Amino acid sequence: MNLEGRKIIVNKSSSELAGMLKNPQDYKDLMPEGLQSFEAREDGFKFGLKGMPEIALKIDNVSDKEVVLKSASSSLDFALTGSMNALNENQTEVQLLFEGKFNPFIKMMVEKPLQNFINSLTDKIEQL
């Protein structure tokens, strides 16, 4: 299952964004409304949103071109990638891409909430 967020322009350099996205605690500011719990860890973070189970993510890779978050749970196989394209020294184009391997039943249950989550993250990143 693949989902895409809309492309946005962020008024920060790609290296500034990458620096921020290396710090697990900074992801708390990007979480959507309805955040019920957030726990930063050494290599990632765990969060809970109203009406959804807690999700643990590990920061797999951060560069000036992309940030890759992967599921910290062995039972769910997915990655959330933030693709970053520097437009100039003060602006970066960002797009979130979700790729997950789910059975059809799980896909049917999570597709809409995940798309809403990606849209909400995109909105928060755009405000940086």
Average pLDDT value over all residues in the chain:
94
Q: How far apart are CA 4 and CA 75, in angstroms?
A: 23
Q: Structure pTM?
A: 0.93
pLDDT confidence tier of residue 124, bands split at 50, 70 and 90: very high
* Phi (first) and psi of residue 23, to 5 degrees: -95, 110
**pLDDT given for residue 80 in this prediction:** 97
Q: Which domain holds residue 27?
A: 2-126
DSSP string for residues in 2-57:
EEEPPPEEESS-HHHHHHHHT-GGGGGGGPPTTEEEEEEETTEEEEEETTS--EEE
CATH of the domain at 28: 3.30.530.20
| Chain segment 28-82, per-residue pLDDT in tens | 999 988 899 999 999 999 999 887 788 999 999 999 999 999 999 878 899 999 9
In total, how many domains does the chain have?
1
